[in-house]
């Protein structure tokens, strides 16, 4: 993760965040302060150099007054095509009783189950 962009989804997340920040007429510094993150960290997110956690995305969404779900989709945390997984993933991400690490662990396990079931059902199978 040291050099280059983290991924295309993170790059589009950064572009989207910058667009939303500009629309909200906030400077990078103002948004960073409102979201409770450092100015350099937010800049790296906007440039696609860092992948923020779901918690950070939630803070940014709140500061921008936009849907956190949109940011989760842009960041690749939740897939808009995944009718099955979206609600489970959003439930895990919104659970305030879990730590960020616990949320990520649950999402990793959940994704591995989906991948396993998809592989067992064949290329066109989507049952779970």
pLDDT for 84-104, tens place per residue? 446 787 788 777 788 878 888
pLDDT over 60 at 127, yes or no = no
- Name the CATH topology of 8-75: 434 Repressor (Amino-terminal Domain) (1.10.260)
Which residue, chain included where needed, has tokens 């956190």? 68
Q: What is the pLDDT of residue 4?
A: 46
Give residue limits of the domains in the chain: 8-75, 85-121
Q: What is the pLDDT of residue 2?
A: 41
CA–CA separation, 11 and 99 (whole Å): 26
At 43, the pLDDT band (50, 70, 90 cuts) reads very high
Phi/psi class of residue 95: alpha, beta or left (left: φ > 0; alpha: ψ in -120 to 50)? Answer: beta
Q: What is the pLDDT of residue 10?
A: 57
CB 27 within 8 A of CB 93: no
Q: What is the pLDDT of residue 9?
A: 57
Q: What is the mean pLDDT of residues 55-71?
A: 88
pTM for the structure as a whole: 0.62
Q: What is the pLDDT of residue 117?
A: 87
Neighbours of 8 (CB within 10 A): 10
């Amino acid at each position: 993760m040291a050099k280059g962009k983290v991924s295309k989804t993170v790059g589009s997340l950064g572009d989207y965040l910058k667009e939303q920040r500009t629309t909200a007429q906030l400077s990078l510094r103002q948004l960073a302060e409102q979201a409770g993150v450092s100015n350099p960290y937010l800049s790296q997110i906007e440039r696609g150099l860092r992948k923020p956690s779901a918690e950070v995305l939630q803070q940014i969404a709140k500061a921008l007054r936009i849907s956190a779900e949109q940011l989760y989709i842009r960041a690749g945390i939740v897939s808009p095509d995944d009718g099955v997984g979206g609600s489970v993933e959003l439930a895990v991400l919104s659970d305030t009783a879990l730590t960020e690490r616990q949320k990520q662990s649950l999402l990793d396990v959940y994704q591995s189950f989906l991948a396993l079931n998809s592989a067992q059902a064949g290329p066109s199978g989507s049952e779970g």
